[in-house]
Amino acid sequence: MASYDSWASPLGSRYASKEMLTLFSARTRASTWRLLWIWLAESQRELGLDISEEAIAQMKAHATMTDEDFEVAAAEEKQRRHDVMAHVHAFGLAAPAAAATIHLGATSCYCTDNADLLFIRDGLSLLLPKLAICIQKLSEFAEEYKSLPCLGYTHGQPAQLTTVGKRACLWIQDLLMDLRNISRARSDLRFRGVKGTTGSQASFLQIFNNDHDKVEKLDELVTKKAGFGHAPAYIISSQTYSRKIDLDVSNALASFGATCQRIAGDIRHLAMFKELEEPFEKQQVGSSAMAYKRNPMRSERICSLGRKLASLNSTTSNTYAAQWFERTLDDSAVRRIDLPEMFLCADALMILLDNVSSGLVVYPAVIQRRINDELPFMATENFIMRIVAKGGSRQEAHEHIRILSHEAAAMVKQEGKSNDLIERIRKDEYFRPIWDELEDLMDARTFVGRAPEQVNKFLRTEVKEALKPYAEAVGEVKATELTV
């Protein structure tokens, strides 16, 4: 059947990266099972089992699944209704000297669960530097615009001024939490190892004639070959590793999905105000009907995929909670969908966030115009204090400002005119003592508090420290940008 005649996930065809798609591909999955069988056989041989060098050599020579291997396994699975046994059969045909000992003492979850842990580990390893790069790019944006005043909003209403850079730091701070959570989830990850059908290692104890030391050593050897030597395999497991681990990882990634929605939502609102835009390419079409439109489609896509990712931990939670005793198979089908989707979705969001943060466009003139519409009202307290400093009455100043403010507000709301409060103040003789100071009292930079200083401190302490482990990835991006 042609690829155009069957459904394919957009995560694969449109959004995720080649490396993440390869990691969760059928070939990587089946080839990883073969690696696990090789590591098991090698370790068993090292511990004295009668497994020939030729058997190991043949297995290594056929470690990567070929198209023909897949065909053999598919035909076998139709008969056996068991994917792992079908692949054992296909591997045995490819490596006949090892056919009698492939999968010796193991249960299916030796392959499936250990492979999933490898994919989770490697998937998180792919995501972390990508997230660090996004943080770095947003940090450069925050540095550039740390002192540019803009309207702040509380309750969706204009509030005290902040700066464009300070607002970006709100986004970065949340992404730093995601970086920490995802990094912690990866650091906590361990290997299931060699545990047998219910996790008791009984089959391996039989193979090694009740030699407990050799069974433990087998577990250690395979764990190190799999690259989990930094920590011992889980001492306690059932037939599977605890599905709580999937939940732990999905919680970290789902939280990142929520962060993406939060950031992209702000960008979409700012684009609506025309204060800021995501990158918009020369030939990009905003609308099939309205040619003038510059829709924030990347940010909208971020919100869409972020919503999907943020929801996936509900199924991992339910899957974990639904497991009975040493295991039930109702986790299998949903995990085949959820685990790859979780990583492909997170990967797609990293790509989009990188793209958006690489080319955010700021419109200072629009920002200033919007400030001008609101700042006169915000500056009234300054006017009152200055009148008092020159010997005036606070109560009288307050009453004058109150009347003029209401008149100006009525012009804005009822007649759609610009805020003319300053013009009214300039015509009111009561305020003559401060007429010459109005411009200084209206300087937007004096209304942003310590926002620029906060940005400086945040970027040079917390962000700098968090990005240290990813210095190589961040440095490569900077070098690439400099040469383009």
For residue range 204-262, what is the model confidence (pLDDT) as tens digits? 999 999 999 999 999 999 999 999 978 889 999 999 999 999 999 999 999 999 999 99
Q: Which two tokens stand for residue 266?
A: 């702000």
Based on the residue annotation, tell me whether 52 is a catalytic residue of this protein: no
pLDDT at 484: 30
pLDDT at 482: 40
Based on the residue annotation, tell me whether 155 is a catalytic residue of this protein: yes
Question: Distance between CA 68 and CA 422 in Å, rounded?
Answer: 80
Q: Which two tokens stand for residue 319?
A: 């899957």
% of the chain beyond a pLDDT of 70:
95
% of the chain beyond a pLDDT of 90:
75
Query: Tell me: the pLDDT tens digits for 448-457?
Result: 999 999 999 9
The reported pTM is 0.90
DSSP string over 440-473: HHT-GGGGSTTHHHHHHHHIIIIIHHHHGGGHHH
Which of 421, 425, 422 is CA-nearest to residue 411?
421
Binned at pLDDT 50, 70 and 90, residue 483 comes out as very low
pLDDT at 481: 52
pLDDT at 457: 98
Q: Residue type for 168, please?
A: A
Contact (CB, 8 A) for 319 and 331: yes
Query: Tell me: the pLDDT tens digits for 304-335?
Result: 999 999 999 999 999 999 999 999 999 999 99
Question: Distance between CA 125 and CA 139 in Å, rounded?
Answer: 22
pLDDT at 283: 53
Mean residue pLDDT of the chain comes to 92
Binned at pLDDT 50, 70 and 90, residue 18 comes out as very high
181 vs 442, which has greater pLDDT? Answer: 181
Query: Tell me: the pLDDT tens digits for 430-466?
Result: 888 888 888 888 788 888 999 999 999 999 999 999 9
Q: Which of 13, 52, 187, 287 is catalytic?
A: 287
Give the contacts of 304 (CB within 8 A, at least 6 positions apart).
Answer: none
Contact (CB, 8 A) for 41 and 100: no
Q: What are phi and psi of 142, to 5 degrees?
A: -65, -40
Q: Is the pLDDT of residue 282 over 60?
A: no
pLDDT at 12: 92
Q: Is the pLDDT of residue 1 over 50?
A: no
Delineate the domains of the chain, giving CATH numbers in brackets: 20-104 (1.10.275.10), 109-363 (1.20.200.10), 380-441 (1.10.40.30)
Q: Is the pLDDT of residue 369 over 60?
A: yes
Query: Tell me: the pLDDT tens digits for 155-179?
Result: 998 888 999 999 999 999 999 999 9
